[in-house]
Amino acid sequence: MYQKNRGFIMIRFGCAARSFIFALLFAGSGSSALAYDLPVVNLGATSFVDGLPPAGAGWYFTEYLQRYDSDRFNDKDGHPLPLPKTEAAFDISLTQLAYIGDVDVLGGKLGFVAMVPSVINEDVDDGINNMALNASSGVGDLLIAPAILWAPVMGAEGPVFAHRLELQFILPTGKYDKSNTINPGSNHWSFNPYWAGTYWVSPKWTASWRLHYLLNGTNNDPSVSYGPGVNSVKPGQALHANFATSYELNRAFRIGLNGYWLRQISDTEINGDSVSGRKEKVWAVGPGAVLSFSKDDHIFANAYFERGAENRSEGNRFQLRWVHHF
């Protein structure tokens, strides 16, 4: 089974024919099953000055457009899988609505976030008439989250530190078919809280981070590629983070470096039993920029080039993000 944590798309190998193909492919490589289990999460969707909303309280609308390309799917040792081809490209959109109110909670202000991803377009080729890889587009899983945002710590020349906490719940509302290799939905719930912060090294130079912990529920209708008799799959827990540093050239333009990192920290459970050799990891880094038209409208551009992938794909990710404050 292949599941891809790129942008917000889940990729799973399905159907009995694919199971047979993979049994043949991996019989000589010491791997009895393909190990891509984690759901899709935020890898690089957020970046610069992440700890501080650009225009304070109120309503925010954000639209993300992502492109992910990969020609390398890796095994547990980071080696390419022995398929004739491993070419995949996806166009994804994410639509987010957020609100920051004036209700006091733990010294901060209470907020709320809702987001829906969609797979707009996909193109995959495995070299065997897509018997191992095929695709499905559509609406993905709904993300909802309460959040607490604290006022920035101020210095003589402006903010010094800002941060927030968000408790994300990913609900299994997206399109899912266990016979598809690519599904917008995961068919299980996840809890994915994070802490985001920004530190001003100087009035123009910032360092930002977003640290996530991922806890997954159980998929009780897993891909048929797991084989006969597999009735449940619970992906392992994971840690993942976005990080960025940027420099303000002027009030309208900021440039910098951005990246992300993911590591699965516990084994996937199949039919309630832990299975070793399936943990995923990857990291990426690349350039980015922010163009600010006003305090209420900002466009982020980010590029990421993945490295060190194990039990998952390794590719390139490009994103445009528009943030509007009402």
Task: Name which of 154, 153, 223 is nearest 186 in CA terms.
Answer: 223
User: What pLDDT is recorded for position 35?
Assistant: 53
User: What pLDDT is recorded for position 303?
Assistant: 98
User: What pLDDT is recorded for position 73?
Assistant: 86
Distance CA 101, CA 57 (A): 6
**End-to-end Cα, the chain, rounded Å:** 43
**What is the pLDDT tens value at each position of the chain, 326 positions in all?**
434 343 333 333 344 455 445 444 444 333 334 458 999 999 999 999 999 998 889 999 999 999 999 999 899 999 998 888 888 899 999 999 999 999 999 999 999 999 999 998 888 887 888 777 777 889 999 999 999 999 999 999 999 999 999 999 999 999 998 887 778 899 999 999 999 999 999 999 999 999 999 999 999 998 777 778 999 999 999 999 999 999 999 999 999 999 999 999 999 999 999 999 999 999 999 999 999 999 999 999 999 999 999 999 999 999 999 999 99
Residue 153: count of CB within 10 angstroms of its CB: 12
Return phi, psi of residue 93, to 5°: -120, 150
Return the H-helix or E-strand segment holding 173: none
DSSP output for 112-168: EEEEEEEEEEEEEE-SSTTSS-----EE--EEEEEEEEPPPEEETTEEEEEEEEE--
Residue 294: count of CB within 10 angstroms of its CB: 12
Distance CA 2, CA 24 (A): 16
CA distances from 13 to 75, 125, 177, 222, 247 (A): 14, 13, 11, 10, 43
Query: Residue written as tokens 């590629």?
Result: 225
Distance CA 233, CA 97 (A): 31
Residue 141 corresponds to which tokens in the numbers above?
Answer: 């899983």
Task: Name which of 33, 24, 31, 43 is nearest 233 in CA terms.
Answer: 33
User: What pLDDT is recorded for position 265?
Assistant: 98
Strands 190-191 and 238-250: unpaired
Task: Name which of 12, 276, 264 is nearest 136 in CA terms.
Answer: 12
- Domains by residue range for the chain, with CATH: 10-325 (2.40.160.40)
Residue 27: count of CB within 10 angstroms of its CB: 10
User: What pLDDT is recorded for position 20?
Assistant: 46
Rg of the Cα atoms in the chain: 20
Strands 10-11 and 182-183: antiparallel
The per-type count for the chain, helices as H runs and strands as E runs, is 1, 21
Single-letter amino acid, residue 224? V
